[in-house]
Amino acid sequence: MQRSTGDAILSRRQIEALIAGGQSIIIVNQKVLRVDAWIPYHPGGHKTIQHVVGKDATDEFTIFHCEETRRMIARYQIGRIEGRWINFVPPIQGGVFRSDEDGKDESAILVKEKQDTSSTGLTADAGIRKRHSEPEPMENMATQDEITFLDTQTKEEIKLTLSQYPPLDPVTQDEIVAQYRLLHSRIHAEGLYNCNYTAYAWEFARCSLLFSIMLFLLHIGWYNTSALFLAWFWSQMVFAAHDAGHIGITQNFTIDSLIGMTIAAPIGGLSLGWWKRSHNVHHIVTNAPEHDPDNQHLPFLAVNHRFLGNLFSTYHERLLAYNKVAQALVPYQAYLYYIVLLFGRFNLYVQSWIFLLQAQGPRKGPARWHRWFEICGNLIFWLWFGYGILYKALPTPLSRVSFVLISHMATMPLHVQFTVSHFAMSTTDLGPTESFAQKMLRTTMDVDCPPWLDWFHGGLQFQAIHHLYPRVPRHNLRRTQALVMEFCRDVGIPYALYGFVGGNRKVLGSLAEVARQAAILEKCRRTVAERGDLVWGR
């Protein structure tokens, strides 16, 4: 009986040649999928898929998608593989693929520009920039001394990371993958994917109370206190939008999308579509300086020394220059951290409107109408907030400015929640052999708090658990934590758990260390300038 095309066994060289020809190939459950036709429809954006091209993405695909989506993969299958798959480095991350299918060496591993320099971030970044045809401005070029200093820092960081986590050999990593998948089955069996709708009813009541108090205080003229309650209302609503964005409430894409977009746009003035495009990439390449948009905050913050050397962002597709503004701010970033976060909500407005106006979301498929829903929702937001409250309800320009600043800046603890779980964790690229589970636990920390404070943190304190299983409803994350801690003990992966104060202290210490390195680098630059050394390209 003739084997169908989808059942054909494809060799590593054949798959490499397909990727070299521009096709988006991923491996899921030993199946070879060509997903080019799906990319324009993907609600999570195209870059999420680009970061798993050439990789066994079984774990990533399984934990991010509901059963309905997982059943769709058969239509994209073009073949199968046999045995253990050795991951390529995706093209977006600097991978170079051979198009010649005449090669005889089936054990050949991907040749890529940063293969021998994955421990030297700046050299690797040069390869990525070259592939994206990004010219290096003369004023942003680094001297050889600067490159040597930053590369040395990166090598020391990798050496320390490797000493703290399980080795990257196939036997060790395969065991971690096997245990991680067993844990996933156990979580399903214990019903932890089932949503606690009673908890959402209480949250709806709490948010309604906060909004009602805000309106009452606004009515009696307590404007600044009213603004404070509006900030608390927005912060609490974000938790539910986060769940909906991960399809973690009803497990139905359309219903959860409607819930999330309603909270984000007409209630919050933001775009869930933008958040999903950015956040899904963050989940795949967590803490990677070149790739994770949640780490890229120049010129205000540099969360890793590699940002001091002009990284090329594959997400924003531009150079993140360590320019004169950054050189002036980064040395003081440990002191500016909370001040910068005070303005976080204003940045979300800008990013949301850029996303919507430039139509950066899917224009086809089940999410094609989301853009128009969110544009209408944002207009409704500015109608009730901008016109109804700021213009009609507040009597003076000063009261309006005060209301905006308080209502927006008082959401700062929410931005601390988002950043504290990652900013102080590893940013090292350990290569394509590292398992997904180990990478998530290496780049993410949990914040410890008593159960009675869970409502305040909104589940975001369980970021490590959430990164392992993003669709587990947040009301079940505390129960899931016990199972994950057991898994970590079994496989020997350190589980980072800090108190809220301790986590903030660790972040500030990490920012201060990068600031110290920035000061050393600046001293190096001044010395070079005094010597009149030539500028070197990277």
Transcribe 392-440 into DSSP letters.
II--SHHHHHHHHHHHHHTTHHHHHHHHHTTTTS------TTS-HHHHH
Same domain, 77 and 225: no
- Is there a contact between 310 and 321 (Cβ–Cβ < 8 Å)? yes
pLDDT at position 402, please?
Answer: 96
Query: Pick from 438, 497, 484: which is nearest to 167 by CA?
Result: 438
Same domain, 261 and 360: yes
Same domain, 184 and 93: no
In a domain, 194, yes or no: yes
Provide the number of structural domains found in the chain. Answer: 2
Same domain, 56 and 181: no
In a domain, 317, yes or no: yes
For 126, 212, 237, 446, 534, the CA distances from 406, given in Å and listed in that order, are 43, 18, 17, 28, 50
Distance CA 454, CA 251 (A): 22
**DSSP state letter for 383:** I
In a domain, 13, yes or no: yes
In a domain, 404, yes or no: yes
In a domain, 433, yes or no: yes
In a domain, 104, yes or no: no
Same domain, 265 and 403: yes
Neighbours of 431 (CB within 10 A): 14
70, 98, 126: which is the final residue of a domain? 98
Same domain, 90 and 195: no
Helices (H), 34-82: 46-50, 58-64, 67-70
Same domain, 71 and 192: no
pLDDT at position 153, please?
Answer: 77
In a domain, 126, yes or no: no
Same domain, 75 and 189: no
Query: Pick from 136, 133, 134: which is nearest to 147 by CA?
Result: 136
Q: Domain containing 48 — which CATH number?
A: 3.10.120.10
74, 98, 122: which is the final residue of a domain? 98
pLDDT in tens, the chain (538 residues): 344 567 888 999 999 999 999 999 999 999 999 999 888 888 888 899 999 999 999 999 999 887 777 778 888 989 999 888 999 999 999 998 888 654 444 444 443 434 333 433 444 454 555 555 555 554 555 566 667 777 777 788 888 888 889 999 999 999 999 999 999 999 999 999 999 899 999 999 999 999 999 999 999 999 999 999 999 999 999 999 999 999 889 888 899 999 999 999 999 999 999 999 999 999 999 999 999 999 999 999 999 989 988 889 999 999 999 989 999 999 999 999 999 999 999 999 999 999 999 989 888 888 889 999 999 999 999 999 999 999 999 999 999 999 999 999 999 998 998 899 999 899 988 888 999 999 999 999 999 988 888 888 888 899 999 999 999 999 999 999 999 999 999 999 999 999 989 999 999 999 999 999 888 888 877 776 666 654 444 4
252: region left, alpha or beta (phi > 0 left; psi from -120 to 50 alpha): beta
Same domain, 399 and 493: yes
The pair phi, psi for residue 513, each rounded to 5°, is -65, -40
Residue range(s) defining the domain that contains residue 321: 175-498
Same domain, 195 and 83: no
pLDDT at position 293, please?
Answer: 93
pLDDT at position 535, please?
Answer: 47
Same domain, 307 and 400: yes
42, 71, 98: which is the final residue of a domain? 98
Same domain, 268 and 357: yes
In a domain, 157, yes or no: no
pLDDT at position 128, please?
Answer: 57
